[in-house]
A = this chain, B = another copy of it.
Amino acid sequence: MELTSKLLTEAVQQFSGLPGIGKKTALRLVLHLLKQDETKVNAFANALTTLKNEVVYCKQCYNISDTEICEICSSASRSRNLVCVVADIRDIIAIENTGQYNGLYHVLGGIISPIDGIGPADLTIDNLERRVMNDNIKEVILALKGSIEGDTTAFYIYKKLKDYSCSISIIARGISIGDEIEYADEISLGRSILQRTPFENSLK
């Protein structure tokens, strides 16, 4: 795609470097911004640089925060002896949206993936161990993706933590609401049978 302006080309290239944004979409977004007031474009650019320069990761759980300890970790109304381990900040948002969880979190910053060159040392697993050691945590819930990498990471954490007094659980695997049973993958369907729950529980 040939553009007649180098400034335009540069802006389009920046946008098309984002995940899931191709050149045509990038051009559409840039031309949209170009139609806005100068103040709006500056606000857009500022929001990004400010975020990058001033963002803080919570010292305890590694969630994105504006303060040293994030809102969730410093909340008085949350169960402080329950920690849910997630790969990414987006997983926290997804779990918070369910309204079903009232404990703390721990963001690993990814999952163990040799293909991508991510080993245990690249994640915040040591810090998780330190929390379990020092913070009187009763239960660690592993909420990681159901994949080889996710299972590997879960197993690695389990081995690290199993000798401490806290219990370690993993989110239920099963058939999602709305899924057709005939099209479900065999592993999920198999687990949903093995880990069946009393019918009364599903009514709560």
Contacts and interface: CB of A to CB of B under 8 A. Distances in A.
A45 B53 CA distance: 12
Interface stretch (A25-33, A112-120, A126-134, A151-159): A25-33
Nearest to A97: B1
Nearest to A70: B4
A90 B63 CA distance: 40
A163 interface: no
> A interface, how many residues as a size bin?
35 or more
Count copies of this chain in the complex.
2
Given A4-B64, A48-B44, A38 B19 contact: no
A63 B7 contact: no
Interface of A: 1-8, 10-11, 13-14, 17-21, 24-25, 27-34, 38, 41-55, 58, 63-66, 70-72, 88-90, 92-93, 96-97, 182-183
10 contacts: A4-B63, A4-B72, A5-B66, A8-B51, A11-B50, A13-B47, A18-B33, A41-B49, A42-B52, A44-B48
